[in-house]
Structures are given as C-alpha cells and as structure tokens.
Amino acid sequence: MFKIGIVGGTGYTGVELLRILATHPDVRLHTITSRSEAGQSVAAMFQNLRGHVDLSFAEPSLDLLSECDLVFFATPNGVAMKMVPDLLAAQVKVIDLSADFRLRDAALWARWYGQEHACPEWLPEAVYGLPEFYAEEVAAARLVANPGCYPTSVQLALLPLLRWPGVDLEHIVADCKSGVSGAGRQAHLSSLLAEAGDSFKAYGVAGHRHLPEIEQQLSSYAAAPVRLTFVPHLLPMIRGIHATVYVRVSADIAELQHHYEQYYAGQPFVDVMPAGSLPETRSVRASNLCRLALHRPQGGDTIVLLSVIDNLVKGAAGQAVQNMNLMLGLPQDRGLLHVPVLP
C-alpha cells in the first residue's frame, strides 16, 4: 500500500480527493493537513466520509509529509511552491493541483498570479498532467502540475484537431461555463446562492488566469502559435463545466468524427459521443469522464466542439488520482471507475 498525504484537505478539491482515495485499493491516507482545522476529525467536517476516513487534520509538517510516497497539494496558488523542493529532496513524489507549476515561464507566472515564483528552477522539471497526451512523461515524473478545470475541458476538445491540415490556429474561440464550486469553498459574494441563483454571467473577459495555460499547451502540441479567445461564465449550478469551442477548418464532419473516435480509442475517460450528440454536464457528474461531441452547423467552415466534465473530478481531483496511478505504476483507471450520478 502506498502512503498518501494531502496538503489542504478542507476545500472542495480536497474533499473530492478524500472521497476518491478513501476507497482506492492500493493507497492508504497517511496525513491530511489544515492549519485552520488542525486536530478536528475529518469525518466531523465532512459527514460523507464517516466510516471511510478516520484521520484528523494535522498541521503541515515536513517530517510527517516526508513519510509519504506521494503528496497532493490542494492549496491556494503560491503555497505548494514553498514546500515542494523539500519534499522532492526527501524522495516524495508530488502532484500540485494549484497553478504553481503549470506555466513554464516564471515571469509570465508572476504577471498572472501577482507574486514572484518561489522555486523557478523546478518549473522545467514539472510535467503537465494531462494523461491522455502525456501518460509516459507523467509515469516517469517526480513533480506533476495538475491542469486547471477549464484548460482540461478545452484541451481535450481541441488537441486532436490542432494538427489537422488547414486548421485556423489564430481564431479559436472557447466559450466556457462552470458551476459555482469552481470558485472554491471560501465564502465569496458572487458565489452565494442568492447571488448566483437564477442568473448567468460572464467573468474574466479581459483576461483569465487559465488563458496562458491553455495557449501554452495548445501551442506546444501544435508546434505553432495558437491564439485563443477564452470567455468563462458562471452557471447557477454546483458542479460541471460545459465548453463550446469554435474552430475554422474545412473538413468533412464524418471524417473528423472518425478521427476523434480513433484518437481517443483506448482512453478510459474520454467518451466521443455519436454524431449529432449534445452532451450534458449531468451525464458526467461525480465521475472522471469527459464527453465530447462534434458539429458543423449549416455545413459551414466552423467546427463546433462540445466538451463536458465535472470540474471537481476530471477538472481537478479525479485527474490528479489518474496522474497518481501513473506515477505509482498502477493502471490509470484504478479507483476511478465511478458511474456518473443522476439526477
């Protein structure tokens, strides 16, 4: 059994990690840290974990975390980068669910996140943890940067198309919507039920932190600059992301459908739906699945890609466990074959 630690176990991502890992057959939760809740029983805070997790929250301690085989950071941006070098020196593998290691350029990171990077020398070693494309690199990694939720939904939709002949890489539009849990568990006025319910709005239109992450990865995969107009929206629901991506390319839609089906054949967590499908966020709730569909409206030159994920699972904790499985030499679907929850 592998010993697992979680730094920052009180947020929505942290409790999703706990939910998934509590029944994983090959790991044992060794420590779960929280400065504010140290000493409190995990099951007392999250009653869904009663009978599954018998630990209490502990103060973050390098000695305690160094006893683990792998540590997850489910912390705000800027926390992991201060502790990761010491853990790596102690031969502990790390998966960071924050943005600390997603961008390769420390100056770009500082510009978007408003602080200097604490360990820029580790950025080149961090592997971007999108398993459908970088499984071999993840399996050999000591440090994995878990992708953001919006970037996951957009990249899984786009990456198979980026090397298609004649695709327009300069005018891609990603119109994305997320449930309020994407804002985290801290109290924010905009995510209160009375504020978000019965309403719908865009945010981050002038620039969102996920934009440089998405463009970096798309450009790397395409081996050419990719320019994206990315507009996120807040939906009055708890879980889920729906990404509608528009790409100009002259291609037969049936040929593209076959290409996507072949591209993702054998990938356990990407479901390319039948032609003409309209995937719903509720069809992936509480699962590690991404469902995709392709359309070419009015027979024009624009392909519309529809991508749905659960932002807390495939967009965060589930994908992190998928990466963990690869890093520990386990099948990547181990402990993750949860059927989506309906209604």
**C-alpha neighbours within 13 Å on the C-beta side of residue 179:** 19
Rounded distance between C-alpha atoms, residue 216 and residue 142, angstroms: 21
The two beta strands, 27-33 and 127-128, are: unpaired
Q: How far is CA 161 from CA 150, 178, 225, in A?
A: 18, 24, 14
H or E, element range at 244: strand 241-248
Joined tokens for residue 263: 């591209």
The single residue of 68, 119, 149, 176 carrying the catalytic annotation is 149
Rounded distance between C-alpha atoms, residue 216 and residue 302, angstroms: 23
Joined tokens for residue 62: 């390098």
Joined tokens for residue 296: 């070419």
Rounded distance between C-alpha atoms, residue 225 and residue 217, angstroms: 10
Q: Where are the alpha helices (DSSP H) in the chain?
A: 12-21, 42-45, 62-65, 80-89, 106-113, 131-139, 149-158, 193-196, 210-222, 253-263, 318-327
Query: In the annotation, is 149 catalytic?
Result: yes
- The residues carrying an active-site annotation are 149
